[in-house]
Structure 1
Amino acid sequence: MFIGFTSCESDMDVEPNDPNAFLDDEFYAQPGAYQQAIAGVYANLALTGIRGPGSSNIQGLDAGTSQYGRGLMNLQTFSTDEAIWTYENDPGIREIQRNTWSAVNPILLGMFSRIMASVAFSNEFLRQSTDARLNERNIPEGERADIALYRAEAKFLRALAYYHLLDMFGKAPLYDESITVGSFEGEEMNRQELFEHVETELIDVLDDMAPPRGVDFGRADQGTAMMVLAKLYLNAEVYTGTPRYNDAMNYIEQILGAGYSLANDYQNNFRGDNSTNEATNEIIFGITANFEESRSFGPVVVMTNGGVGSVEGNNEDFGLFNPGWGGAIRITPQFAEKFDGPEFENDARNTILSEGRTREISDVGNPNQGLVLVKYTNIRSDGTNPEYDTFTDTAFPMFRLADVHLMYAEAHLRGGGGSLSQAVSLINDLRTRANGASINESQLTLDFILDERARELYWESHRRQDLIRFGKFSGGQYIWSFKGGSASGIPINSIRDLYPIPAQSLSTNRNLSQNPGY
């Protein structure tokens, strides 16, 4: 099946017909049909269903556990030191943030299922847009160049989905457009095979995509594909046991020369108009949001409403005209320590509010314990604030140029080439923008980079991946509050470096096997 959504950006601003129509020749005979269809593939990243933010098009899953960006937030952020969710009676979250999850966790099922939906939607678009199909439907030649570009983007979105499966679950079933619709038994790819599959897909599609910054915000281009390749190679030693830092540096340098630039104001990357303000020069790929047309309980909605402090009642800091969610999110003391020191007092990235609060959290259910911060807001870069309730216009920045600066420094220190002076310069670009103190070459170490990544990229769904790459997620080298379940934190087994394949997914596909230790 194929399902359509509304997307809100420029030429992707379309209203889909009945979802069943996406399999109908009559639908594809309409002008702009393929534009609508690719918008539906993209919308799977932002929305969960076509009947409003509480609906889900995945049977058996609710909207709160099956939104793509929120799944990334749950698994990449709340499993780490970056955030604590107050309401542990919400299904699955206690086990995620205490690193005690099992294969029956509903958040894991939601993420795995939503990612596989992205694969399915991409495949269906590719089936419906072959040359044979276009000929059957007498699609004019003038439309075919755009359709070819949409096909490349669909292949990228499928590769992105498999990249996330590689990172979080380590294996996945192989489905492409040649497999019969309705098949639930794709052959399993192990982590090495999955790595090679994503690598091949991205390299093959790269030349068919628009040049960097050559399409509207929210669509993928060559820069986006190069970003995923750079990420793939930076983490290759974790994924396959073989370091690929030179390959990572190759794509990092290409991105740095591709015309992106840092926003002058760090916080513009997280404001309500970040899909149209200067942040569009920095955000390499973002999941779009639109209050009027595409509402969901995605990561930005959660981190704005959830970020409102129970003590502070500071909903106005987030641009919200509702009281927020009663202090749903706090940060761990260990994360707060990353901003200790006079050099971070005026750092734009340091949005921690500490007045009247203590750092320590002894009772997760007490929202008055622990520190809070402000990252995402619905306030626009010109200071205006639309009177919205709960939902926002703020896009989720999945990939930013700032990350590329940090990746260059790390790849260099890990032997990937480049120069030390350039690495330091790129780091100082970020610190200068944030009004922080510059560093010198002797200060650039891997430990510094890990902490700087936390300061620059927190709540952007990178932290779990970073901690694993630096050897500090499992084991006892780095302990944070509630790691492993206890308030003071304890070491966790290395099996936790991968999530289990959801039990329901195993029962659906007999070719899948469980990850070790689960």
Structure 2
Amino acid sequence: MNRNTFTRMLGMLALTAGLSSLTTSCINDLDQIPDYSANSEVVYRDPAQIEQVLARLYATFAVSGQSGPAGSPDITGIDEGFSNYIRQYWQLQEITTDEAVLGWNDGNLPSVNTLQWNADNEFVRATYDRIYYEIGLCNEFIRQTTDAKLSERGITGDAANTVRTYRAEARLLRALCYWHAIDLFGGGPFATEEAAIGTNPIYRTRAELFTFVESELLALDSGTELLAPRAVYGRADQAMCWTLLTKLYLNAQVYTGTAKNTEAITYAKKVLAAGYTLSPVYANLFLADNSTSSAKNEIIFPVTFDGLRTKTFGGMTFLVHAPVGRGVSPTSAGINNGWAGLRAKQNLTQIFSRSNADDSRRAMLFTRGQNPNVDSLDQFSSGPLVTKWRNVTSTGKGGSDSQEQGGEGNFADTDYPMFRLADVQLMYAEAVLRGGSGGSVAQATTYVNDLRTRAKAPAVTTLALNDILDERARELFWEGHRRTDLIRFGRYTTGNNWPFKGGVRAGRDVEATRVLFPIPNTDIVANPNLAGRQNPGY
């Protein structure tokens, strides 16, 4: 399946038009059976239809429902545009930190900006529901594609081997979602394809979920089913597996109390030897043709978007539109209008100031006519604007849905680079500085300087651990990493304040329990196995 075929399939949701929607409870999310008009016994006898179901597993990260861009949502209890996986995950990772602010007053969104959410917050609940919805879909796919099922349905030979690759991809996508659950919520409900249909998911601690994800990733790595690195752009392959292991191990001290920096180095090195190369131009990573330009050689795992085939008001539509307004014109972003919501905090400007004025990444902070400080949450003039995400190609043309191409200018072609090489280089460097074995400070310094050289910033001659935190902010800002990074460095709840943190204009330290989001009350009420399992502080 080539890249163009795969991207088209992300928009082919007719097969799954009958997928059951979530309510605001996740009581059966982990063991649901999609309600196909053609039932599982029909769909899973045909490798071509199995491929389409696999495409739906990928599409769930990109789109928000069955009809696109709105009208038949996957989950309920929140506006469909807000409910999108990437949009919600990005918001919890960025607007709860020193990098971004979202100035709208929808529902309880301001409390997410200020780290004052509770267990009834609809944006926290939508993220949780979205994660477990995808896990449930993956469980069913894995359940229906065992060797026994394939044999029973007459799928043999090369066709069976192809479906085994699909099944491995589904396991990897499920591991990704469980990692998101570990990182955001700690412990939580748990089920695999082995769970009996209709039963309440059991509770597993954060450490237990860590062990499951680790074991799944190691099993996938030792198997032969996953695609080789870079075999098909947009697919979950061996390099994605290694990158996810690197992330899991780098954060193991937070998740389990036991550091695993040596293991992080081991798997980072596998990625670093897999043939990926840095895009010569940093900005190209965030443009409408990042799937075909040199940027694709740096991207390890994207969530793919197509302006004509994956229409949603979340995902890249959100990330391209929401920062546009005032001095940043819609035309420059390849869209028809700006939503005037997202801005940066001055803390990000200060991190760039500690580097060098010539750092080209800094040019993505737009300050002309803006108050350099966030003195108001809801005033779009308050804080630098960010021009990182655009629906324009590296040659200056608008995306497929741009008005330049005869489209409406709503939906972006830009792919979301969830994992990319630069991140792995920085993770290697951090794991070395945290005392992991199997790497070297000299190599770590080289990897950091590769990024700084691309950005036209001066090379560093010495490297300290806090340098990595700053360099991750410069290189990866607004890509959905910051909250996890700050927690790992002990800079999230205390000792590092930003505007309106804790609801105070100057910012203040907040409760240590804010390193985790609460399990939504709706699920605790619905699932007896979660009784008494709420995260501390909620």
Both proteins in one fold, TM over 0.5? yes
Q: In the TM superposition, what is the alpha-carbon distance from 1:181 to its structure 2 partner?
A: 2.7
- Please list the CA deviations of residues 22-65 of structure 1 after superposition, one character each: whole Å capped at 9, or x if unmatched: 63322334450111111111111111111112241124343233
Query: Is the CA contact (8 Å cut-off) linking 2:333 and 2:390 kept in structure 1?
Result: yes
Match of 2:484 among 465, 468, 472: 465
Q: What is the match of residue 421 of structure 1?
A: 442
Question: Structure 2 residue aligned with 1:356, among 360, 369, 382?
Answer: 369
CA shift, 1:478, in A, is 0.6
CA contact (8 A) 1:271 1:379 kept: yes
**Root-mean-square deviation (CA), in Å?**
1.8
293, 305, 312: which one pairs with 1:296? 312
Note the 1:378-417 alignment, pairs <5 A: 378-386=391-399, 387=402, 388=407, 389-417=409-437
Instruction: Work out the CA distance in 2 between the residues paired with 1:355 and 1:452.
Output: 25
Q: Distance in 1 between matches of 2:325 and 2:8?
A: 35
Quote how far apart the aligned CAs of 1:21 are.
3.3
Q: Residues 408, 416 of structure 1: CA spacing in aligned structure 2 closer, same or farther, 3 A cutoff? A: same
Alignment partner of 1:397: what SS?
strand
Residue 313 to residue 263, structure 1, CA distance change in 2 (3 Å): closer
Counterpart amino acid of 2:66? I
Q: Supply the AA of the counterpart residue of 1:401.
A: L
Cα distance in structure 2, aligned partners of 1:239 and 1:462: 16
- Tell whether 2:79 aligns with 1:62: yes
Residue 419 of structure 2 aligns to a residue whose secondary structure is: strand
Instruction: State yes or no: 1:257 paired with 2:273.
Output: yes
Partner of 1:329: 342
* Aligned counterparts, 1:26-45, within 5 A: 26-30=42-46, 32-45=48-61
Q: Which runs of 5+ in 1 are unaligned?
A: 1-5
Unaligned segments of structure 2, at least 5 residues = 19-35
2:516 maps to 1:498: yes
241, 244, 255: which is aligned to 1:239?
255
Retained in 2: the 8 A contact 1:268–1:381?
A: yes
The equivalent of 2:451 in structure 1 is: 430
Structure 2 residue 10 is matched with structure 1 residue 9 = no
How far does residue 209 in structure 1 lie from its aligned partner after superposition? 3.9
Checking the alignment, whether the CA contact within 8 Å between 2:62 and 2:315 is kept in structure 1 is no
Contact preservation (8 Å) 1:22, 1:28: no
Structure 1 residue corresponding to 2:496, chosen from 478, 481, 503: 478
- In the aligned structure 1, how far is the partner of 2:123 from the partner of 2:176? 20
| Alignment deviations for residues 38-94 of structure 1 (CA, whole Å, 9 cap, x no partner) | 11111111111111122411243432332111111111001001111111x212321
Map residues 87-486 of structure 1 onto 2, 5 A cutoff.
87=104, 89-183=105-199, 185-206=200-221, 207-310=223-326, 312-320=327-335, 322-325=336-339, 327-340=340-353, 343-386=356-399, 387=402, 388=407, 389-417=409-437, 418-441=439-462, 444-475=463-494, 477-486=495-504
- Give me the whole-angstrom Cα distance separating, in 2, the residues matched to 1:406 and 1:342: 16
8 Å contact kept, 2:99–2:348:
yes
CA distance in 2: counterparts of 1:502 and 1:22, whole angstroms = 33
Deviation at 1:262, TM superposition (A): 0.7
* Conserved 8 A contact 2:63-2:315: no
How far off its partner does 1:8 sit? 4.9
Q: Structure 1 stretch 66-75 or stretch 450-459: which is displaced more? A: 66-75
CA separation in 2, counterparts of 1:485 and 1:172?
Answer: 28
Whole-angstrom distance in 2 between the partners of 1:61 and 1:136? 41
TM-score under structure 2 length normalisation: 0.90
Please give the alpha-carbon distance, in whole angstroms, between the structure 2 residues aligned to 1:514 and 1:176: 22
Identical aligned residues as a percent: 39
Q: Secondary structure at the match of 1:65?
A: coil
Indicate the larger mover: 54-63 or 188-197.
54-63
TM-score (norm 1): 0.94
Give me the whole-angstrom Cα distance separating, in 1, the residues matched to 2:520 and 2:13.
34
Q: Which amino acid aligns with 2:480?
A: S
Aligned residue identity for 2:338? G
For 1:514, the aligned partner's letter is: Q
Change (3 A) 1:341 1:131: closer
Distance in 1 of aligned mates of 2:161 and 2:38: 21
Q: Equivalents in 2 of 1:15, 1:159: separation in Å?
A: 23
Task: Determine helix, strand or coil for the equivalent of 1:267.
Answer: helix
Q: Which residue identity does 2:7 align to in structure 1? A: E
Give the drift of 1:448: 1.2
1:60/1:10 Cα in 2 relative to 1: closer, same or farther (>3 Å)? closer
Aligned length: 505
Query: Which residue pairs with 1:3 in the alignment?
Result: none
Deviation at 1:122, TM superposition (A): 0.6
Show CA shifts across 1:181-226 (max 9, x none). 333x111110111111110111112223434434322210010011
1:75 corresponds to 2:89: no
**C-alpha distance in 1 between matches for 2:375 and 2:38:** 52
